[in-house]
Amino acid sequence: MNFISGKTEDSISLPKLRDTLIRLEDTIIFALIERAQFSVNDNIYKPGMYKYDGFEGTFLEYFLSEVEKVHAKVRRYQSPDEYPFTGTLPDPIIPPLDYPQILKPNNININKKIMKFYLENIVPSLCVPGDDQNYGSAATKDVECLQALSQRIHYGKFVAEAKFLDPKLQPKYIEHIKNRDVKELENLLTDKRVEEALLKRLRRKALIYGQDISEHGGLNLDNMQTTEQLKINVDVVVELYEKWVIPLTKEVEIEYLLIRLDE
């Protein structure tokens, strides 16, 4: 989302946030499709498998930290919707931008949880078992997946802020925040119809994007290719959102709301 141009209130309007989240669905699906073309390649996830400049972590962690160092220099992580996986990063080499203060200042970052579920649940389900030795290519696609998932999940802060500012619901939010009532906050934030529509939309997108589309004719969703012919397992995409993206987004929303009234 462009936080520099436009009015601050427009940046956190629910329709505009919804448009951004729908575009991120595309980004995530295409990133998963790219990762799925390589094997699991367990070696890139084993600590100490390789040595680089005294770094003791995994090849993926090393590669991700190096990528984020470069991105930090061009001020990626000064944007309010970007969250690094790496702890200490260099300062930007170009002047900072003047971002509007949309969110309550906070240190909420759940990238460790995102990394954990991605490696333990998504990669094994998404990729064929084995080692094709395409370590650099696989790690590059891992980074793209992780960064897209992180941005999508941390957008929960903006969604929570937009919902908190709803004058009809704000008194209830304030009451539950003061009472530290996590369950009631979750109930206020949850719209099952929206979640069901999201999962249906994801399934259709994954079915379409996962096909090899020829230059002849259009798509017939009633006669789709089988799962084995698709470039991605559609169920993995739906499960990713149902089991991880939606619950972790709510976790971010609730954590943010619980500090929303702090001085």
Closest CA relative to residue 107, chosen from 122, 87, 127, 123: 87
Determine the Cα–Cα distance for residues 38 and 181; give it in Å rounded to an integer: 44
Domain encompassing residue 175: 9-39+106-260
Element (H, E) at 129: none
Asked whether residue 90 is domain-assigned, the answer is: no
Determine the Cα–Cα distance for residues 151 and 102; give it in Å rounded to an integer: 16
Asked whether residue 59 is domain-assigned, the answer is: no
- pLDDT one-digit tens code per residue, 105-163: 999 999 999 999 999 999 999 999 999 999 999 999 999 999 999 999 999 999 999 99
Asked whether residue 2 is domain-assigned, the answer is: no
CB burial of residue 89 (10 Å; 0-12, 13-18, 19+): middle
Asked whether residue 119 is domain-assigned, the answer is: yes
Helix pair 156-164, 170-178: axis angle to 10 deg: 110
- How many other CB atoms are found less than 10 A from the CB of residue 76? 16
pLDDT at 227: 54
Question: Is 39:127 a contact under the CB 8 Å cutoff?
Answer: yes
Asked whether residue 100 is domain-assigned, the answer is: no
Which amino acid belongs to residue 18?
Answer: R
Closest CA relative to residue 152, chosen from 83, 222, 224, 72: 83
Which amino acid belongs to residue 38?
Answer: F
Question: Is 99:12 a contact under the CB 8 Å cutoff?
Answer: no
Closest CA relative to residue 79, chosen from 150, 182, 140: 150
pLDDT at 217: 55
Which amino acid belongs to residue 20?
Answer: T
pLDDT at 249: 98
pLDDT at 125: 95
pLDDT at 230: 84
pLDDT at 1: 59
Question: Is 116:144 a contact under the CB 8 Å cutoff?
Answer: no
Residues of the chain with pLDDT under 50: 4-6, 223, 225
Question: Is 186:251 a contact under the CB 8 Å cutoff?
Answer: no
* Rg (the chain; Cα; Å): 20
pLDDT at 212: 75
Total domains present in the chain: 1
Asked whether residue 169 is domain-assigned, the answer is: yes
Question: Is 10:16 a contact under the CB 8 Å cutoff?
Answer: yes
Question: Is 226:220 a contact under the CB 8 Å cutoff?
Answer: no
For residue 236, give the CATH number of its domain: 1.10.590.10
Tell me the CB-side half-sphere exposure of residue 132, using CA atoms within 13 A: 14
Q: Is 55 helix (H, G, I), strand (E, B) or coil?
A: strand
Find residue 55's DSSP bridge partners: 52
Q: What percent of the chain has pLDDT over 70?
A: 90
